[in-house]
Amino acid sequence: MEKRKNLKEIALVFLKLGTFAFGGPAAHIAMMEQEIIEKRKWIDRQHFLDLIGATNLIPGPNSTEMTMHCGHERGGTLGLFVAGISFVLPAVIISGFLAYLYVEFGHLPNIKPLFVGIKPAVLAIIAGAIFKLGKKALKNWELAILGLLTVTVTLLDRMDEVTALLTAGLIGMIYFYIRSSGEATPKPKKKDPTTKKSWMPLFLFQASAGSIFTGASFKIFLTFLKVGAILYGSGYVLFAYLDAELVENGLLTRQELLDAIAVGQFTPGPVLSTATFIGYQLNGFWGAIAASVGIFLPSFMFVLLLNPLVPRMRKSRLMRGFLDSVNIAAVAIMISVLFQMGQDTLVDWRTITIAAISFAVMFGFKKVNSMWIVLGGAGLGYLFYLI
């Protein structure tokens, strides 16, 4: 009974987050931090940071994979699947509906005024998360220097995010291991006996894919499965992969692909909901389902592999330095994202006003839910558009 209650809670929490999670991975993680740590206390902030740092190093949509981690912490393997599916479901449904309108009428509805206000409001949500996570991640002056270096190289575009994280992690791992060589290393816990059992839902899911999708839909499934398994980075990287897979093979025009990427950018949840839009264009309803399952399925596999390892990494003297360094680098990258988003977003008095109000609410009213900041930004954006 308790397990069923937990799964229901997981589903409701991540359906809500999936519906209002605008602004990209940094914003999604900021909303999760507020909902999972502050409001519900499912996990502590240190473990949340460890999960962020480790998740940034694997392929796939990091914020979606963080929902899976949080779901696993609350409800085990089933919780992982419930959280991940619940988070992506709103984006998949919205993208599928927009794809239907696009195929039927040849263009997308004009919903830009709403998103003009959401973007500056999201800046405040990200800043709030940086402040709280940064306080936990900043444990000493060495990590402060590592964080400053990470901010610098990412803002100057000298390294991509994954390279910056790995570099910071390796430097920190070596430095802190040498510094703490005299300390005793805690013994790791015994292997979790449920780990092997946790693979069963994934194997069943993969085995059934071939029977669910046939013909054109199965080819779509395989295409997006490959993309989901190797994808690192932003929506621009996704564009490059899909351009090579679909445009160059004559399955889509480049304009159709650009429209699909745009849908992924302004719908809530992960930008990978672009796959749903494209799948519908290629083969209707079943094409949309095949593309959605294909692109998100590898993330479930990666999180199932990674989740049991993170606590063990924290207990290892060698890997503890790696985690702490990756964590501060992850916060530093959020600062870079905030700065770059601010440059792109704060372009006139309207966006600056919405951002200022959002910052005042975020830092002046500590208990306010980020959902209301998103809704308030959307409302102000639409109001200013009418003016």
Comparison of pLDDT for 280 and 270, the residue scoring more: 280
Tokens of 22: 């605008």
Residue 44 has a pLDDT of 92
Confidence of residue 188 (pLDDT cuts 50, 70, 90): very low
Summarize the chain as % helix, strand, coil (round to 5).
80, 0, 20
Average model confidence (pLDDT) across the chain: 85
User: Which of 182-191, 227-236, 300-309: highest mean pLDDT?
Assistant: 300-309
User: Which of 40-54, 99-113, 249-263: highest mean pLDDT?
Assistant: 40-54
The pLDDT tens digits for 111-126 are 666 677 888 988 998 8
Largest CA distance in the chain: 69
Q: Which of 343, 157, 150 is nearest to 234 (CA)?
A: 157
Specify the pTM.
0.84
Residue 152 has a pLDDT of 93
Residue 76 has a pLDDT of 92
Residue 236 has a pLDDT of 56
Residue 192 has a pLDDT of 46
Residue 267 has a pLDDT of 83
* pLDDT of 304 higher than 50: yes
Average pLDDT over residues 160-164: 83
Residue 97 has a pLDDT of 92
14/277 Cα distance (integer angstroms)? 21
* pLDDT of 106 higher than 80: no
Average pLDDT over residues 275-292: 93
The pLDDT tens digits for 193-252 are 444 444 555 555 555 555 566 678 889 999 999 888 888 765 556 777 888 888 888 888
Average pLDDT over residues 22-30: 87
* pLDDT of 185 higher than 90: no
Give the number of other CB atoms < 10 A from CB of residue 151.
19
234/257 Cα distance (integer angstroms)? 15
* Helix 141-155 / helix 317-345 crossing angle, nearest 10 deg: 40
Q: Which of 126, 129, 170, 128 is nearest to 326 (CA)?
A: 170
Listed in sequence order, the DSSP H helices in 234-273 are: 235-242, 254-266
